C-alpha cells in the first residue's frame, strides 16, 4: 500500500539478490551488494503476477489486509525492487510480458505502469527497447536524480556518473517515454546545500533550453530506515524545506509533487 500512490502499488522485483550498480546512502535494502539482476524465470514471473492480480481482483486481498475502501484500487504496477531493474539481461522482454498481462487482466490502461530507475543503463540497447515497450503500454519512467552535480551523486548515490552522461541519458529517456524526475532530499554532510540546490535549478533550466521533456518533479525525503553504513547520520528534510524548494522548481515551469 503506497503512501505516495494512494492505493495499491504492485511492485515487481527483478533484483531479489539485493544487487545494484549504485549504493544510495538512504537505501532500505539490507545486505546490499554491487552487481546486476539475476537471470529471469519468465514462466515464474507470469505465474506469480497472474496469481497475485487474481488475488486482488477476484480474491480477498483487500479484506485480508483490512484495506480502507477508499484505498481499494490498483494505482500502478511498478518495476522496482532491491536493485537497478534495468540491469536485467532481457529487460525489454520482461517489460513486454508485464504490460501484456496487465492489459489482458484490465489493470492497464486505467492504472499506471511505472519503471523506477537510476537511469544509468539507458545507453544499452535492451534498456532502450524496454523503454519503448513501456511507452507502448502508456507507461512512464521515474528517473532518480538526487543531485545535479557529480560530487553530490558520488556522496548520495556512490556513483561516478558524469554530468555529460546524465544529460545524455535524460535526453534518450525523454525521447522514448514519459519521464519524471524522482528526487530524495535529505541532510547528510553537504548534501542539499544552497549550492547543490542552485545546481539542481540550473540543471532544470538547461533541460528546458535543450528541449529535454520532463513531465514533472517528485520531491520526497527519507521516511523509512536505511540499511546503509551512513544510516545514523541521515536526517529527513522537513515538509517546509520540501515545499520551499518545490516553489523554486515551479517558478521554472515544472509541476512538482511533494511527499515528506
Of the candidates 208, 210, 154, 153, which has an alpha carbon nearest to the alpha carbon of residue 183?
A: 153
Q: What is the pLDDT of residue 259?
A: 87
**Domain extent listing, the chain:** 8-259
Residue 223 has phi, psi (to 5 degrees) of -120, -15
Q: β-strands 235-236, 178-187: how paired?
A: antiparallel
pTM score, whole prediction: 0.94
End-to-end, the C-alpha distance of the chain in Å comes to 16
The CA-based dihedral angle spanning residues 165, 254, 82, 102, taken in that order and rounded to the nearest 10 degrees: -110
Q: In whole angstroms, what is the distance from residue 112 CA to residue 214 CA?
A: 17
DSSP E strand stretches across 145-198? 178-187
The owner of cell 539542481 is 200
Q: In whole angstroms, what is the distance from residue 139 CA to residue 193 CA?
A: 34
Q: What is the pLDDT of residue 6?
A: 76
Name every residue whose Cβ is closer than 8 Å to that of residue 90 and which is 6 or more positions away in sequence: 40, 42, 126
Q: Can you say whether residue 6 is alpha, beta or left, with left for phi > 0 and alpha for psi between -120 and 50 degrees?
A: left
- CATH code of 8-259, in short, is 3.20.20.70
Q: What is the pLDDT of residue 3?
A: 66
Q: What is the pLDDT of residue 4?
A: 65
Q: Across the strands, what pairs with 186?
A: 236
CB 201 within 8 A of CB 194: no
Give pLDDT tens digits for 132-172. Answer: 999 999 999 999 999 999 999 999 999 999 999 999 999 99
Which residues of the chain, if any, have pLDDT below 70? 3-5
Average pLDDT for the chain: 95
Amino acid at each position: 500500500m503506497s503512501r505516495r500512490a494512494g492505493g495499491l502499488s504492485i511492485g515487481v522485483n527483478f533484483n531479489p539478490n539485493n544487487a545494484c550498480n549504485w549504493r544510495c546512502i538512504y537505501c532500505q535494502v539490507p545486505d546490499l551488494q554491487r552487481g546486476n539482476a539475476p537471470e529471469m524465470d519468465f514462466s515464474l514471473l507470469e505465474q506469480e503476477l497472474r496469481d497475485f492480480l487474481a488475488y486482488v481482483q477476484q480474491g480477498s486481498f483487500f479484506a485480508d489486509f483490512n484495506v480502507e475502501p477508499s484505498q481499494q484500487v490498483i494505482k500502478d504496477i511498478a518495476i522496482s525492487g532491491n536493485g537497478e531493474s534495468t540491469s536485467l539481461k532481457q529487460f525489454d522482454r520482461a517489460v513486454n510480458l508485464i504490460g501484456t498481462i496487465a492489459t489482458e487482466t484490465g489493470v492497464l490502461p486505467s492504472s499506471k505502469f511505472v519503471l523506477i530507475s537510476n537511469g544509468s543503463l539507458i545507453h544499452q540497447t535492451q534498456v532502450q527497447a524496454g523503454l519503448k515497450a513501456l511507452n507502448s503500454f502508456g507507461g512512464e519512467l521515474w528517473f532518480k536524480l538526487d543531485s545535479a552535480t557529480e560530487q553530490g551523486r558520488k556522496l548520495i548515490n556512490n556513483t561516478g556518473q558524469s554530468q555529460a552522461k546524465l544529460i545524455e541519458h535524460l535526453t534518450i529517456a525523454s525521447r522514448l517515454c514519459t519521464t519524471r524526475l524522482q528526487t530524495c532530499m535529505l541532510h547528510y554532510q553537504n548534501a542539499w546545500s544552497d549550492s547543490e540546490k542552485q545546481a539542481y535549478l540550473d540543471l532544470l533550466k538547461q533541460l528546458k533550453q535543450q528541449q529535454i521533456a520532463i513531465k514533472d518533479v517528485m520531491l520526497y525525503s527519507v521516511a523509512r530506515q536505511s540499511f546503509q553504513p551512513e544510516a545514523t547520520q541521515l536526517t529527513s528534510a522537513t515538509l517546509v524545506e520540501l515545499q520551499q524548494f518545490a516553489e523554486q522548481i515551479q517558478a521554472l515551469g515544472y509541476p512538482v509533487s511533494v511527499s515528506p
